[in-house]
Structure 1
Amino acid sequence: MLEPLHRYWKLIHHLVIKENARILDISPDKKQIWMEMEKQGRKAAVRIAKIEYDWMNQLEKDVEQAKDSFRRVKKMILGRNLQFYNIYVSSYPPVDLRTPLGEHLQQENRIHLYFLSRDPSGEIADSAETILRDVGAETKWNPLMDGTDEEHENEARHYRKEVQHKQQALEKQDRSLLMFSRPRAIYPILAAIFLIFLWLEQNGESTNIVTLIEYGAKYNPAILDGEWWRLVTSMFLHIGFFHLIMNSLALFYIGGAVERMYGMFRFIIIYFTAGLFGSLASFAFNEQVSAGASGAIFGCFGALLYFGIIHRKLFFRTMGLNVLVILGINLAFGFAVPAVDNGAHIGGLAGGFLASSLVHLPGHGAKITQFPAIVLIPVLASGLYWAGQINEDKTDASMINVQLAQEYIQRDNIEEARRILHKMLDSVDNPSAYFVLGNTYLEENQYRQAAGNYEKAVSLNPELAQAHYNLSIAYLNLEKWEKAKQAIEEAKALNIEEQDDNVDVEQIESEIADRKG
């Protein structure tokens, strides 16, 4: 008997064609269909299943499985208090069903069960009119007419074809939104990142702070001196192989998805705007030397979020939940780990969102959100640059400058080390800086200058044992025996020998005694 098949496809046809329900999933045998309904702001998941169960235990098992599937489907539909309408179409109800299905199973709130079948008594099965009214349908149901099996089969086939044609048209429309073009720009960007990394490794090390700064990393003092191009070049540098691989994989998948949606030219604008915003935010709020494509990658997240605002249903049917989870994890990780430049991440995210709003999605025409973006992008970029120039509450850069000076000393570039330290000490007194500056003079046997810097170091930090020790050497060579003796005693009291295996306190004490005598 083909009447139930006819009824099954007629109900699906009515909801899809007349009520604009959207099919979310179809089982391989076409006997189960999930749909999304939205009427007057109320959203619902509708499942229609073609079954032939003789006993209630079979039906009860299917109901439980449907509830499990509903939990998965809910992630594809954005909305609160989502209703679930589970509709069974069959020739006859199970023989041991004596009351309407919903009453028999006592379903919880927001889950509604219906049984659409041939039921001469009219007491157990539900009518199509009741089902359509409950799901919020606005068009009238035309009851099935009696007919032969061949007529029912032909009608079912007709309804199925119309539903499939509409579904194919909607899927084609979705594909055109998600895959507007093939990725092209992403590959030369990745190639440039890899080639620059190899270049960095051959000319030093990608983890060496001096190498990073020399080849264009974000370094605030240099930017303040006019080297603004570092805001761009830092996007192509990476600190170590792990950093390179993680960012490259993220860029390949997330950036590739964004380029498919927005097209090559829009993607390039989004990518570089986001990268620039990430660098500016890092300049404004973080004094650490930084590099990497993270800001641009977070900008791609911003582009996906903008797509989600414009096409909310498609976004959550496809990638939405995964995007939000991954983004949330990355932001939380950035806040939890101090070494991560979360300012660059958030700046890139905002920049990517604004750039996406500016260029908009292809084929959508002008949108009012484009005009505020034209103003906001230059205003916010200028604001971040201005904040970077005046913000004195950024992460302390003193140790970075001291480390950088030490690196230059190891490379025998004493003058550059002194330039960095003198410039730093013009604005802030730092004991470590005075100590390293003293070392540069001690290396060249300029003991008076060395002693002066060590004295400033220990006056700022009396616990700096190494400064006391080196000060004793400077005093020894300046023939200031009492001061040399006092300095070495201070170093001993601070356990200098436990801190540094290379010191020889006894030798210094012996030389002081010999020369003084």
Structure 2
Amino acid sequence: MKPNHLFWKFIFNLVIKEDLRIIDISPDKKQVWIEKEEKGKKAAIRIAKIEYDWMKDLERDKEQTKRMLSRVKKMMPARNLTFYNVYISTYPPVDLYTSLDLHWENEEEMQSFFIASDSAQPTVDDPGDVLRKMGFYTPWEQIYDISDEDHQRYARYYRKEVTRKQEQLEQKDRNLLLFGKPRFTYLLLTAILLVFFVVEKAGGSTDILTLIEFGAKYNPAILEGEWWRFFSAMFLHIGFFHLFMNSLALFYLGGAVERMYGTLRFIIIYFIAGLFGSLASFAFNEQVSAGASGAIFGCFGALLYFGFIHRKLFFRTMGMNVLVILAINLSFGFIVPAVDNGAHIGGLIGGFLASAFVHLPKHGLKGRQVPIFLLTAVFSAVLFWYGYENDSKAESPLLDLQIAQEHLERENVDEADNILSQILENNENAQAYFLKGNVFVKKSDYETAAQYFEKAAELEQDFPQAHYNLSLVYIELSQYEKAEMALELAKKTNESQEDERLNFEKVEELLKEREQ
């Protein structure tokens, strides 16, 4: 009974008298990890109740402890983490001839101690001395010879007091992490899924024109006053994979943030982050964009703000996972050109700022909330101004070509013609000439179509589609020699591209029929 009494009394001194916090308790209650932080210096204290006869058993325990320490370091990030390893037993190992020295390789900031309840060997450490070496100066009350019943009674008392305080701290943590319920998160997910279903029925979520019609971020339309696209774009997604990944992220991240901040604060954080993401995309990206990614990165920002306020709890629970996932997502955005990383970073900043001015529930008003609100408003205005003044982001020839192509596929010939004419006013573009030729094919003006296909082939010699269409137009104009030459060029230039859409046999058959 005496070692158990000593074990819980030692922990009682640290947790109750020194006001430290338990990080982890093993299932068998024989190993307790405690964190210490003083003047910016951190230490992890392990107290283990053991009964080992030989030092080889301690060596084996050392390896298990090393693995656990790696886990603890993730919960207590620090440049130099001091580690105290305290063994409490009835007797020391029989081959413990000197003071315990279990320093690990590259572990200079580590000290091990062995406390025995029924031994006064010089190799055994005194509990009071151990506490002083760890930086604690509360007097240690020695345990005198008492009955086993008294040892058991004291051990129960110390354990009960330690457990009670730990439960109070854990309840306080739960109140911080589980303030609200994720009702609005589920509502957002439902709305996003419904919008995706409607867009798919209307023309497809990967169709640029359909996305623009339903409110995707499209710079020319925003410049014409359609500011509501900053918000409507949050509910649109480009393809099922995009929808699935964002919905999964929103379910977990949005749910966590709404539980921490409550529904009203979460709504403010979500939409301000989404707005910042759309503004950053408007300012730095000319492509059509859509998705809840900016708002979702705003949830990362909200979690980082929580970590800024409650650093210890953040790293004890989700901290390292949040940082790693955030780093992976940002790195992916820089590596993959198609990802709108401007929207992601804008959302991250917007979410952090919004969290700072709404602050956490039951934390009271802070003097910095008003300045942060003003900073958020100014920052958003600067992003909008930059996007409005940045003419290079208002126009995108590649995007315009894609839109013109989709207009042609929808038989919106005049709309496609207008877009292509505007492109060709500014610069010569082989793809624009090619699509312009298709416009005149649809108008049955084959002579004009031939001129545009010829221009496209002249600007870009390795352009099999232009030669292919040119051969068809020449057939319609009864210029069969030119048709044969264009067909041969199409075959030759297609050797590198291998465009399977070009049916050369069909054109050859058509050419033979017309020549006869």
TM over 0.5: same fold? yes
Determine the C-alpha separation between the residues in 2 that align with 1:487 and 1:383. 56
- Return closer, same or farther for 1:367/1:425 CA change in 2, 3 Å cut-off: farther
Q: Deviations over 1:22-69 (max 9, x none)?
A: 101112222211110112221111011112222222222222211221
Alignment-derived partner of residue 40 in structure 1 = 39
Q: Are 1:501 and 2:500 counterparts? A: no
Q: Are 1:148 and 2:147 counterparts? A: yes
Determine the C-alpha separation between the residues in 2 that align with 1:430 and 1:382. 36
Shift in Å, 1:384? 2.2
- Return closer, same or farther for 1:107/1:218 CA change in 2, 3 Å cut-off: closer
Determine the C-alpha separation between the residues in 2 that align with 1:395 and 1:489. 41
Q: Deviations over 1:74-129 (max 9, x none)?
A: 11112111111111111221222221112799994122111112365441111112
Q: Structure 1 length as normaliser, TM-score?
A: 0.89
Query: What is the identity, as a one-letter code, of the residue corresponding to 1:386?
Result: W
- Return closer, same or farther for 1:135/1:428 CA change in 2, 3 Å cut-off: farther
* Other structure's SS at 1:46 match: strand
Alignment-derived partner of residue 416 in structure 2 = 417
Q: Does the aligned pair in 2 maintain the 1:358–1:374 contact within 8 Å?
A: yes
- Return closer, same or farther for 1:419/1:228 CA change in 2, 3 Å cut-off: farther
Determine the C-alpha separation between the residues in 2 that align with 1:85 and 1:246. 44
* Other structure's SS at 1:309 match: helix
- Return closer, same or farther for 1:115/1:496 CA change in 2, 3 Å cut-off: closer
Shift in Å, 1:383? 2.3
Shift in Å, 1:456? 5.2
Structure 2 unaligned segments of length 5 or more: list them.
none
Alignment-derived partner of residue 253 in structure 2 = 254
Q: Deviations over 1:154-178 (max 9, x none)?
A: 2222221211111111111101111
Q: Does the aligned pair in 1 maintain the 2:90–2:119 contact within 8 Å?
A: no
Alignment-derived partner of residue 275 in structure 2 = 276
Q: Are 1:300 and 2:286 counterparts? A: no
Alignment-derived partner of residue 351 in structure 1 = 350
Q: Does the aligned pair in 2 maintain the 1:438–1:454 contact within 8 Å?
A: yes
Q: Deviations over 1:162-198 (max 9, x none)?
A: 1111111111110111111111101110000111111
Structure 1 unaligned segments of length 5 or more: list them.
none
Alignment-derived partner of residue 73 in structure 1 = 72
Alignment-derived partner of residue 215 in structure 2 = 216
Shift in Å, 1:332? 1.6
Alignment-derived partner of residue 24 in structure 1 = 23
Within-5 A mapping of 1:194-233 = 194-233=193-232
Shift in Å, 1:349? 1.1
- Return closer, same or farther for 1:61/1:469 CA change in 2, 3 Å cut-off: closer
Q: Does the aligned pair in 1 maintain the 2:43–2:83 contact within 8 Å?
A: yes
Alignment-derived partner of residue 162 in structure 1 = 161
Q: Deviations over 1:440-471 (max 9, x none)?
A: 12321335654564465456445445445656
Alignment-derived partner of residue 233 in structure 2 = 234
Single out whichever of 440-449 and 305-314 deviates more from structure 2: 440-449
Single out whichever of 97-106 and 15-24 deviates more from structure 2: 97-106
Shift in Å, 1:236? 0.8
Q: Does the aligned pair in 1 maintain the 2:2–2:148 contact within 8 Å?
A: yes
Alignment-derived partner of residue 95 in structure 2 = 96
Determine the C-alpha separation between the residues in 1 that align with 2:103 and 2:437. 88
- Return closer, same or farther for 1:144/1:241 CA change in 2, 3 Å cut-off: same
Determine the C-alpha separation between the residues in 2 that align with 1:131 and 1:229. 66
- Return closer, same or farther for 1:48/1:304 CA change in 2, 3 Å cut-off: same
Shift in Å, 1:430? 2.5
Shift in Å, 1:372? 3.5
* Other structure's SS at 1:101 match: coil
Q: Structure 2 length as normaliser, TM-score?
A: 0.90
- Return closer, same or farther for 1:396/1:84 CA change in 2, 3 Å cut-off: farther
Percent same amino acid at aligned positions?
57
- Return closer, same or farther for 1:506/1:52 CA change in 2, 3 Å cut-off: closer
Alignment-derived partner of residue 131 in structure 2 = 132
Determine the C-alpha separation between the residues in 1 that align with 2:378 and 2:427. 31
Q: Does the aligned pair in 2 maintain the 1:492–1:505 contact within 8 Å?
A: no
Q: Does the aligned pair in 1 maintain the 2:220–2:395 contact within 8 Å?
A: no
Q: Does the aligned pair in 2 maintain the 1:218–1:283 contact within 8 Å?
A: yes
Q: Are 1:50 and 2:79 counterparts? A: no
Superposed CA RMSD = 2.9
Q: Deviations over 1:290-336 (max 9, x none)?
A: 21111111111111111111111101000011111111111122222
- Return closer, same or farther for 1:120/1:26 CA change in 2, 3 Å cut-off: closer
Alignment-derived partner of residue 189 in structure 2 = 190
